[in-house]
Amino acid sequence: MIIRFLGTHNAESKYTSLVSFLIDDVLAVESGGITSELSFSEQEEIKAILLSHGHYDHIKGVPAFAFNNACHTTRVFATQQTLKILSSHLIDGVIYPKFTEKTPVCGEQSLELVTLEPFIPVDIEGYRVLALPVNHNNISAVGFEITSKDGKKLFYTGDTGPGLSAIWEHVSPQLIIMDVTFPNRLEDTAKNSAHLCPKMLKKELIEFQRIKGYFPRIVLVHFTPKFKEEIREEVKEVAKELKLSIELASEGNELIV
Ligand SMILES: [Zn+2]
Ligand SMILES: [Zn+2]
């Protein structure tokens, strides 16, 4: 699987884009950067979009994408609550057309919303996708284990607070893409908003190793831009203590699993 990071932050600017990545150019995970970071022809390649939860930074790209790709149907996969948030706030027929219905542009439906049930794997464009619930701010939030046809696996946590040990037994990825939003000095803020800081990341990784018996490759996303360098320094310490490599993703990075 080739993973291409379109956005790796929680705040958008000229230099930072919202968390989103492509798998083999056809599967988009989150939507923050799927229009601003891609040409029209690259957008056309996307066959399906996975959304982890209904917060704005994750669902924001969907209406603009649907507008740009109105002449064919793209499937959007998420839990029932996330799809409800999307259809009642962003594709509601008020601020933009209801892209889930046939639009006048080409007479096509640009989006089909498909409900994902946690713990039930589904086939999406040849990938096995397993949604697993994570703890995030009292909103329905899931992480995804995505398995390619040749058996390569990644797990993306989505936005998450502590307590991932409940799902480690359900996954066995070679790569984990994880949320680290704050530095250690804001651990309380991280806990209150259900995100992770490097210190909390360390705990989650130790639990992973205890349950699974190995460390996968770790790549971090969802940085608050002004804290990224502070997070980088603290993550270096965690990596040294656990004797593994932990990478901080940047916009445009590609990696292969
Ligand atoms: Zn969130
Ligand atoms: Zn977020």
Query: Which tens digit of pLDDT belongs to each residue from 188-211?
Result: 999 999 999 999 999 999 999 999
Ligand 2: distance of its center to the CA of 193 in Å? Answer: 10
Whole-model pTM: value is: 0.97
Q: Which residues pair with 111 in a beta bridge?
A: 74
Ligand 2: distance of its center to the CA of 106 in Å? Answer: 33
Confidence of residue 107 (pLDDT cuts 50, 70, 90): confident
Ligand 2: distance of its center to the CA of 79 in Å? Answer: 16
Ligand 1: distance of its center to the CA of 55 in Å? Answer: 5
Ligand 1: distance of its center to the CA of 156 in Å? Answer: 14
Q: Which residues pair with 246 in a beta bridge?
A: 218
Q: Which residues pair with 23 in a beta bridge?
A: 3, 27
The CATH architecture assigned to 2-256 reads 4-Layer Sandwich (3.60)
Residue 249 contacts residue 219 (beta carbons within 8 Å): yes
User: What does the pLDDT look like over 115-174, one tens digit per residue?
Assistant: 999 999 999 999 999 999 999 988 999 999 999 999 999 999 999 999 999 999 999 999
Burial of 101 (0-12, 13-18, 19+ CB in 10 A): exposed
Ligand 1: distance of its center to the CA of 243 in Å? Answer: 30
Q: Report the relative pairing of strands 27-29 and 20-23 from DSSP bridges.
A: antiparallel
Q: For residue 172, give every residue at least 6 positions away whose Cβ sits within 8 Å of its Cβ, in sequence order, or none.
A: 153, 212
- Dmax over CA atoms of the chain, in Å, equals 58
Tell me how far apart the terminal alpha carbons of the chain are, to the nearest angstrom.
5
Note the ligand closest to the C-alpha atom of 58.
2
Note the ligand closest to the C-alpha atom of 20.
2
Note the ligand closest to the C-alpha atom of 223.
2
Q: Classify the phi-psi angles of 137: left when phi > 0, otherwise alpha if psi is within -120 to 50, otherwise beta.
A: left
pLDDT at 174 (0 to 100): 97
Ligand 1: distance of its center to the CA of 58 in Å? Answer: 7
User: What does the pLDDT look like over 26-59, one tens digit per residue?
Assistant: 999 999 999 999 999 999 999 999 999 999 999 9
Note the ligand closest to the C-alpha atom of 57.
2
Note the ligand closest to the C-alpha atom of 30.
2
Ligand 2: distance of its center to the CA of 78 in Å? Answer: 15
Check pLDDT > 90 for residue 251: yes
Ligand 1: distance of its center to the CA of 237 in Å? Answer: 26
Residue 1 contacts residue 174 (beta carbons within 8 Å): no
